[in-house]
Amino acid sequence: MAATALEKVRLATRLAANAVAMDQARGYAYAAEALATMRTTALLRRAGDRVALTGGWSGRPFGLPIPGGTATARITDGGNCFNLNSLVTRAIDGRWVADGATVAQFARLMRLLRVPGGETIAPATADWIDSDDVPLPGGTEDPGYRGYRTAGTLMADVSEWRAVAGVTPQVYRAVRPYLCALPVAERATININTLLPEQGALLAMLLPDTLSPQQAGAVLSRRPPDGWAGVDPLWNQLSLSGGGGATPDLSAKQQTAVTTRWFALAVDVANGASELHEQALIDARALPVRLVARQWGDAT
């Protein structure tokens, strides 16, 4: 009985120590958030009318000194993506209504990535978010699911997309690097000065199948070291590279910019034997910037 009691005391002590270490790690993560928001505000004030990769800030780890461990944070552009929540718009009566032009753009992105089933996955995703129960052409509403219903509201995280009809693990892995779930129902504005050449599909999706991701990436690789001062030089080069056809809609050019409105933050904390990972979103639409979302755990 004494041995059993001692074992229980030892286990309880260990659990308590782990809980304390995890609480400390979470506190260090909060401190890293504060430091990251200050650094982001300083970056934007220093950058002025354009945000470029100058200085190598994107993805560069910066540490927070902590006793007996490490805390590292990384900031990247969080708006160079396809925003799943842009598949709907807010109606006057407050309902979420599918946006046909954005649905077509999402299908085009999957086609450019050679992902099968995009013509049905795109409308099914819009049906998952919108408020009605009438499926779009090729889409899926509640009757198409077994055991659960469509959300009928904005996605809080890209991982929710895995529940949409047609999104297999293979589809999710292929498209996930190009997606985000911003807390607004509007298209993400792509910063052409921070978009990487390997993300060329995000530019190519703005055109009606007249430009390949490789051609878009080649244009991005010739970007001036300090970035473009405006979007016109990029669009002129895209036209010469094979994207001379008419844009899919008038807002395509407006979907590009030389500034950044959202930043992604990744924080990794090691505190003794405890590890903590955080993914967060920084709203940079107004200064000073502010943290608007966080998620514990590795990116999914």
| Residue-range domains of the chain with CATH | 1-79+261-297 (3.30.1300.30), 82-180 (1.10.40.60), 190-257 (1.10.40.60)
Q: Is the peptide bond preceding residue 288 cis, with omega within 30 degrees of 0?
A: yes
Residue 117 neighbours by CB under 8 Å, 6+ apart: 110, 166, 171
Q: Where does residue 100 rank: exposed (0-12), middle (13-18), buried (19+ CB within 10 A)? A: middle
- Percentage with pLDDT > 90 across the chain: 70
**What pLDDT score does 248 carry?**
44
The structure's pTM equals 0.89
Give the long-range contacts of residues 285-293, CB within 8 A, separation 24 or more: 285/261, 287/41, 287/44, 287/45, 288/37, 288/38, 288/41, 289/37, 289/40, 289/41, 289/44, 289/263, 290/37, 291/33, 291/37, 291/265, 292/183, 293/156, 293/183
What mean pLDDT comes out for the span 14-19?
A: 49
Say if residues 250 and 241 touch (Cβ distance below 8 Å).
Answer: no
- Percentage with pLDDT > 70 across the chain: 88
CA 126 to chain centre: 17
**What pLDDT score does 70 carry?**
86
Task: Name which residue leads in pLDDT, 261 or 67.
Answer: 261
**Segment 173-188, tens digit of pLDDT:** 999 999 999 999 999 9
**What pLDDT score does 6 carry?**
53
pLDDT band at residue 15 under the 50/70/90 scheme: very low
Residue 156 neighbours by CB under 8 Å, 6+ apart: 181, 183, 293
Mean pLDDT of the chain: 88
**Segment 78-115, tens digit of pLDDT:** 999 999 999 999 999 999 999 999 999 999 999 999 99
Picking from 194, 204, 177, 210, the residue whose alpha carbon sits closest to that of residue 299 is 177
Q: Where does residue 186 rank: exposed (0-12), middle (13-18), buried (19+ CB within 10 A)? A: middle
pLDDT band at residue 271 under the 50/70/90 scheme: confident
Task: Name which residue leads in pLDDT, 300 or 246.
Answer: 300
Residue 8 in this model has a pLDDT that exceeds 80: no
